[in-house]
A and B are shown apart, each in its own frame.
Chain A
C-alpha cells in the first residue's frame, strides 16, 4: 500500500516536471505576479530599496576612467540607458571565443581587463556589484532571454 502511494507520488512528480517544461512563454509569470499588494508596493518603491544605492554607485563608476587605457565604460558604450538596455537579460551566455559560459559580472571584468587595461574587480566586490546592478537596472521589467531563443 505504502509502495503504491509512493509510486503514485513519483508518477505525479514526473508529470508535474513534464508539465513545467511545457509552459508556453506567453503563460510564464514572474514571481512578482504572485506577490501580495504590500510586497509589490515595497518592491516598487526605489527609495526604500538598498539595491538602488548600489545602482547610484554603479552610475558613477560607469563614467569613471580606469586602467592604463584611461577609458571609462561610457567612452565605449556611451549612455548606459540605451546601450545597456536588454543586455543583462541576455546573461549568462556562452562565450564562443573563450569556450565557456560567462555571466554579467565576468563580462564586465573581461571588458575591464581587455579594454580598460585595468585590474579586474574581485568577485562580489562592492564595485563589481554596483556596476552589475547599474547595468542590470537598464533591463528592468524585460523578460530573461532564454539561450534557446538566441541566435
Chain B
C-alpha cells in the first residue's frame, strides 16, 4: 500500500494563496535498470497526479521515468471556498492512491 503525506492549511482567508504539498511512497522503477542477474527490471512508475478542489481540477502532472522515488509535489492555489481538496495518483500495474484534506475558508 502506498503511503502519502499531504499538507494543506486547515484554515485560510478567502483569496489567500495557499501552498499545498504532497509526498507519496513509490519506488519509481525506471525500466532501465538491470537487476543483479542483468535482466532489466520492468518499468513501474506513477504516471499521473491530479489535484481537485471541490471536484474541480486545479493541478495535474504527468510523470516520467526520470522522476525520483517518492515523488514530492508542491504547488499553490487560491483559497476560494471551504471544502475538500482531493489528490489522486495513478500509474503502472494498476497503481492507484487517493487522499483528501478539508479546508475551511473564512
Contacts and interface: CB of A to CB of B under 8 A. Distances in A.
Contacts of B22: 47
Interface stretch (A22-30, A49-57, A90-98, A116-124): A49-57
A83 to B, nearest CB: 23
A79 interface: no
Contact of B3 (A46, A48, A49, A57): A57
Interface residues on B, range: 10 to 19
Interface of B: 3, 5-7, 21-25, 70, 72, 74
A53 B21 contact: no
Interface of A: 45-50, 52-53, 56-57
Nearest to A47: B7
Nearest to B20: A47
Contacts of B7: 45, 47-48
A56 B1 CA distance: 11
Contact of B25 (A45, A46, A47, A53): A53
B21 A47 contact: yes
Contacts of A52: 5, 23
B3 A50 contact: no
B70 A50 contact: yes
A56 B3 contact: yes
> Lowest 7 CB-CB distances: which A-B pairs, in order?
A47-B7, A53-B25, A50-B70, A47-B5, A56-B3, A53-B3, A47-B21
